[in-house]
Structure 1
Amino acid sequence: MKKLFALVLAVLGSAASAQTPTTNPMPDGSRDMYAGLGVVSGPRYEGADSRKTRALPVLQVQWSNGIFISGMSAGMHLSANPTIEYGPLLAIHPRRTESGTGGEIGDVAGASLLPTALRAFAGNPLAGMEEIKTRPEAGAFFNYYLSPAWRLTSSVLAGAGNDRNGVRGEIGIQRLAMELAPHHTLSLSAGLGFANRAYQQSYFGVTEAQALASGNPPYRPDGGLKDLRIGARWNWVLSPSWMLTSSLQATRLAGDARHSPLVERPTNLTVSTAFAYRF
Structure 2
Amino acid sequence: MSDNPEIDRKVPNVARIYNYFLGGRDNFAADRTAAESVLSMAPEVRAAALENREFLVRAVDHVARAAGVRQFVDIGAGIPARRPVHQVAQRVDPAARVAYVDNDPVVLAHARALLGRGRGTTVVQGDVRCPEAILAAPGLAGLLDLSRPVAVVLIAVLHFVPDSDDPAGIVRRLLDRLPSGSHVVITHLSDGGVPGDPRIARVRQVYGGRLFFRSRAAIGALFDGLELVEPGLVGVADWRRSWSGAQGTSWWLAGVARKP
State if a TM-score over 0.5 links the two structures.
Answer: no
Larger radius of gyration: 1
Q: Structure 1 or 2: larger strand share? A: 1
Normalized per residue, which structure has more helix? 2
